[in-house]
Chain A
Amino acid sequence: MAVKIRRRAFLAGAAGAAVTASLSFPAIAQPKPVRIGLLTVKTGPLASGGIQMEQGTVRFFKDRNYTIAGRKVELLVADTGGNPAGTKTKTQELVERDHVDMIFGPLAAFELLAISDYAAQAKMPILSLAAAEDMTQRRPNPYFVRASATSSQNMHPLADYAAKELKYKRIITIADDFAFGHEQMAGFQRVFEDAGGRIVKKLWPPLVTPDYTPYLAQISGADAVVQGFAGSNPLKFMKQYQDQGLKLPVLGGGTACDEALMKSFGDEAIGVISCSAYTGDLDTPSNKRLIDGMVKDYGNIPGLYSAGLYINGQVAEAALEKTGGKTDDRDALIRALRSVSLVDTPRGPFTFDHLGNVVGTFYIRKCDSKGGKLVNTTIKSYPKVGQFWTYDEKWFLSQPVYSRDFPPLKS
């Protein structure tokens, strides 16, 4: 780098104005690359999702030959280690040292919350899958875009389906005892109760729980169980659920029966009905490209995380096409990002609301065994689902954020 500058200065000085003009010309014809930072997790217990995020991102840019809207793309991957402090450090590096134009990631809500204020100050667009409700509700970050879902966004349609199509009246919920689990189950509860159903019991095993039996022993007297586990917990839970001889139908959110878990699940997952922003059997050209590419490169089918990052790539591309490839005006860039409207994506058509959260199709799927392999088959889709479901936005935001105890159980 230093050598280059010296040579350029020498040339400029020696050959005069004409040469300088001709040197600056190719800079217009070949603009500098777009720099995209990816905050992911490659070590520790969150690594599984983090690695999938990186695979989805790389797949997208490979599909585009690392060129979007006429500009080359430089991808900078940073491992946050899955903790808030690491995320903060890596974000600062990406922003201040690498001068990235936007950031994909991070994975977990607590990582996102750790950098949200800093990123907003730096006017850095963040395209994350982290589902924390208030990021696009009561404490919105104007530079944030979420093309996946809030925690409860897929639970609202799931509850609607459980009450209206499955005609369930009584449900027991069980989910990891942290914000993502709380928000998911609260969302399910609100819609299910409003449709006339009743939540009999809400169970909260700690995030780290080797043995679910103490909770499984309390499951009885309901039509079905709704589980909101994430990471590798769905696997452990479903196995122990089956071992315990429980027969109640199981419903779940996006992480509960994700495509990425299919190769790890056994027959205990058969029959699980889940609602997700992404489904493997969606027939769009880009989903087919994503699946084929993932199988070819990594021998895996994509799940929520890889599809989510592939979609982020598409959002970035569409926004850059709107700005004519420009990224310098950050406010114009975030406006472009939030006005993106796409049809051919791995999750189908979607747009964004004025808070930067996705409005798109959500899919109710049933897990089945086909030819010795587990697959999710879509049985119903809910188009144009926003984060507020059918509720009035003003009313929704005037209520407290979904939590462990809100809304309170009707008894």
Chain B
Amino acid sequence: MNLWVVLAVNSITLGGLLFLLSAGFSLIFGLMRIPNLTHGSFFMLGAYLATSLIAHGFDFWSAAIVGGLLVAAFGGLVERLILRRLIGAELAQVLVTLGLSFMIADVCLMVWTGDPIRIATPSALRGVTAVGGLAFPTYRLAISLIAVVFAVALWALLDRTRLGAMIRAGVDDPAMARVVGIRVSRLFTVVFCLGAWLAGFAGVIGGPILSVYPGLDQEMLPLALVVVILGGSGSLVGSLVGSFVVGFLYNFGQAMFPELAYVVLFLPMLVVLVLRPQGLFGRQTA
């Protein structure tokens, strides 16, 4: 009985981390139609940058924010200098972002060596919190909370601000958005930076659980892909629901059918792709 409660709570915390990772991916894909395969690299890069920032005296939270900003700046450059030239060419985008992810991985290996690096859990959140007689790692509970805060903030940004309205317009009909005077190309940069920031930030936030090591990028990317395909691209609610679905599938799948852990994780993705290609919450596009 306790096992199931522990798994359920953990599913929610993993879902929270996945939401931070995949919200950016979903926004970028929804608005720009770029399947950004460097998203896992942004995640890893954020975590690596944070280890250096922390070594230079930053505390964990400022390292998370600044690390994210550095990744965002890098993402902005990638968008301006490379992806901008490839609008509409999806195969080229896939190849370029995939190639970039290998290059980032090699540069990380050079700079931070192949040794795994650990990010210490912020001291206030160490230890476990007892809930109803069961103990849960405090930091993981905090991640769920951060995810909720971000979900609300992103929803407010998209739903309640002018920028959000422009982004939504751009997602729904870029051509029409241009006609009414929205500078969609500038939006692209903003959204790409925002997505990169979220990924970098998520990398740092995930650091105390995952630590940082070569290959982390390729471990996280498929999870982001599953979330976005399940939830539907460009949909915030979709990312949120998708993240928690994947969190649950991951935890319960590995505990109940360890031999089929990946089948349990990816089978729903196949089913959704076949039956409802736009995802659970995505809109039908032409």
Contact = CB atoms under 8 A, between A and B. Distances in A.
Interface string B108-121: 01000111111011
B208 A239 contact: yes
Contacts of A214: 7, 10, 250-255
Contact of B251 (A49, A213, A243): A213
A211 B262 CA distance: 13
A266 B118 contact: yes
Contact of A45 (B117, B139, B214): B214
B144 to A, nearest CB: 13
B159 to A, nearest CB: 31
Given A48-B114, A214-B10, A232 B213 contact: yes
Contacts of B209: 211, 236, 239-240, 243
A47 B258 contact: no
A48 B220 contact: no
CB-CB nearest 5 A-B residue pairs = A48-B114, A45-B215, A232-B116, A47-B114, A232-B213
A43 B105 CA distance: 9
B262 A206 contact: yes
Contacts of B210: 210-211, 236
A403 to B, nearest CB: 14
Contacts of B118: 235, 239, 264-266
Interface centre among B114, B211, B258 (most CB of A within 10 A): B114
A22 interface: no
Given A44-B214, A47-B114, A266-B118, 10 more contacts: A48-B114, A48-B213, A210-B206, A215-B254, A218-B255, A232-B213, A235-B118, A236-B209, A239-B118, A245-B137
B115 A43 contact: no
Interface string A357-369: 0000000000000
Nearest to B214: A45
B128 interface: yes
A135 B215 CA distance: 28
A204 B214 CA distance: 22
B49 to A, nearest CB: 17
A45 B213 contact: yes
A107 to B, nearest CB: 12
A217 B214 contact: no
A235 B218 CA distance: 18
Interface in A48-63: 48-51
Contacts of B113: 48, 51
A244 interface: yes
A205 interface: yes
Contacts of A240: 209
- For the side of the interface on A, what is the size category? 35 or more
A213 B47 CA distance: 21
A263 interface: yes
A243 B214 contact: no
Given A44-B214, A239-B208, A208 B3 contact: no
Interface in A167-219: 177, 203-206, 208-211, 213-215, 217-218
Contacts of A210: 206, 210, 216, 219-220, 223
B95 interface: no
Given A206-B261, A240-B209, A47 B117 contact: no
Nearest to B252: A214
Contacts of A203: 258
A213 B211 contact: no
B137 A243 contact: yes
Interface string A232-270: 100110011001110000000000000011011110000
Which one of B7, B128, B210, B253 has the greatest number of beta carbons of chain A within 10 Å?
Answer: B210
B135 interface: yes
B106 interface: yes
A264 B252 contact: no
B207 to A, nearest CB: 10
A240 B127 CA distance: 11
A43 B113 CA distance: 10
B168 interface: no
Nearest to A208: B219
A214 B14 CA distance: 11
Contacts of B258: 177, 203-205, 215
